[in-house]
Structure 1
Amino acid sequence: MIRETLSIFKNIFENRKLLVQFSFNDFKSKYAGSALGIVWAFITPLVTVLTYWFVFSHIRARGADEAYPFIVYLVTGLIPWFFFSDSLLSATNVFREYSYLVKKVVFNVQILPTSKILSSLYAHVVFIFIGFGITSLSGVFPTVKALQLLYYLFCLIIFLTAVTWLTASTQPFLPDIMQFINVAMQTIMWTLPVIWIPSENIARFLKINPLYYVIQGYRDSFTNGPWFWENWQYGLYFWGFTIILLLIGSGVFGRLKPHFSDVL
């Protein structure tokens, strides 16, 4: 499994120019033919943020955290969640979407899930800057600790890579996995500190989900929270979980890859 994992990463690196070009074309093609084009990549998440803000700010008499306004808590949780959900849903269906490429022996299909993650990353980077703008307008200004966003972004990309190797590989054989993920995502979001603050007792249980580490890390980066090495115990858990998932995902990918063209 370790050899298969390293082999996939090697192929992705060797095809990095093709990967960037392919992902950028994929990003543009998502909204091709619509009047507003790629603007839709930003309108939908912004409307979602404003809706949550309007609803929950009226439900709560005060912000979600006394240290800063609710909009800061909300935005810093939704930014990584939007990236995760968009990448997972698009990458899971990538082999079926590009079945004509999968059937070509000369095309390296190993870059396809990563291309979807990179395609979603373009909008994500813009939203990070928007997030800094919103937090600054709310009185929470970025500090040097904002630099650790690069670390947590790396964590999220590697975790997404592990998950999508598994889901994208099984989707051609189990088409219903897309429906399962759509349903599961609605539940998973409510088990994370995205729009609500779990108590310490509940948080201990919810931290089983590695995404908890990333989302809380994003929020700490935006709000001058602790450095990532101060939570080294949970960091070790996250990376242990992610590495195991990478090994499983690469193993499944390697075994199912020769059969993709048969079922697509």
Structure 2
Amino acid sequence: MNLALLLQFTKQDFVDRYSGSVLGGLWAFIHPLVMIFIFVVIFANVMGTRLPGISSVYSYGIYLVAGLLPWMAFANTINRCATVFLDKRNIIGKVRVSLHFLPLYVVISEALTFLIAYMIFMLFLVFTGAMPGQVLIIIPFVFLVQQVLALGLGLIFGVLNVFLRDIKEMVTVLMTFWFWLTPIVWVMDIVPPVVQQIQQHVNPAFLFVDAYHQIMVHGHLPDIGGLMKLVLIGHAVLLLAYLMLRWLEKDIRDFL
């Protein structure tokens, strides 16, 4: 697959997403704007939610949005890659498209959505005086690492989903459980130490969510060791996905 075709798939993905709406692509800005306003402003001024040990009225809202936006990109990438071969079966049958590179348009599309949402989020941080400093430079690396893992998992589920259509529903259930088992809505301070250890050693999503929290909430550099661990996990999963796809590519094309 060449770059022009990949970009065309990405562009078409945005067009299809807002097809038929009057405002069109403006919804890519409206959705995160409303969500961030509710979580940062409403939670702070109406519900009065605070983070333990932080006096800022916006602390919990910032904590919530800082973890929720990357999680949405992560989960959407996995969910959409899990169905990408079925969604594009007509194109795969007519054009000699590389199955290895086809899901990349999903990654690019979700990256653009994340970029729009996070830029809006940062505007809120500027207005509330909670903008982090130079540690923001780490965010592109954290996002890249998490999306490598998301692409790998999505490809594995995508391959399996061709042969067993229940995989799509199973992935939806899995991501729901995974969301609530990751400290995005709740904070680590409220759980026992054994649960905190499990998060650090068993849950790869914690490694990138905690990195965003450290950067956006506390203004600290994230745990580099944790990020390197995530790099290894993500690339191992992506390699496994590549080998599965290479091994089963002929069968996938026959099933489609």
* TM-score normalised to structure 1 length: 0.84
**Is 1:80 aligned with 2:70?**
yes
Distance 1:185 1:244, change over 3 A: same
1:36: which partner in 2? Answer: 23
Residue type matched to 2:227 in 1?
G
For the residues of structure 1 that align with 2:47 and 2:38, how far apart are their CA atoms? 14
For the residues of structure 2 that align with 1:110 and 1:243, how far apart are their CA atoms? 15
The share of aligned pairs that are identical, in percent, is 22
Of the three residues 197, 204, 208, the one matched with 1:204 is: 197
1:165: which partner in 2? Answer: 155
- How much is the aligned-residue C-alpha RMSD, in angstroms? 2.5
1:238: which partner in 2? Answer: 230
For residues 35-74 of structure 1, what are the structure 2 equivalents within 5 Å? 35-49=22-36, 61-67=48-54, 68=56, 69-74=59-64
1:219: which partner in 2? Answer: 213
- In the TM superposition, residue 194 of structure 1 has moved relative to its aligned partner by 1.2
1:3: which partner in 2? Answer: none
Residue type matched to 1:253 in 2?
L
Q: Give the 3-state SS of the residue equivalent to 1:129 in structure 2.
A: helix
Query: 2:32 touches 2:120 (CA, 8 Å); kept in 1?
Result: no
Residue type matched to 2:152 in 1?
A
2:118: which partner in 1? Answer: 128
Query: 2:33 touches 2:120 (CA, 8 Å); kept in 1?
Result: no
For the residues of structure 2 that align with 1:251 and 1:90, how far apart are their CA atoms? 20
How many correspondences in the alignment?
249
* TM-score normalised to structure 2 length: 0.86
Distance 1:51 1:132, change over 3 A: closer
Query: 1:145 touches 1:221 (CA, 8 Å); kept in 2?
Result: yes
Per-residue CA distance 1:99-120 (angstroms, 9 max, x = gap) = 0122235222322211111111
After TM superposition, the structure 1 stretch with the greater mean CA deviation from structure 2, 48-57 or 193-202, is 48-57
For the residues of structure 1 that align with 2:136 and 2:242, how far apart are their CA atoms? 32
Q: List runs of 5+ in structure 1 lacking aligned partners.
A: 1-10
**Is 1:148 aligned with 2:135?**
no
- In the TM superposition, residue 86 of structure 1 has moved relative to its aligned partner by 1.8
Per-residue CA distance 1:21-80 (angstroms, 9 max, x = gap) = 321221222221222323334444555555656886589754124334211111111110
Distance 1:190 1:57, change over 3 A: farther
2:128: which partner in 1? Answer: 138
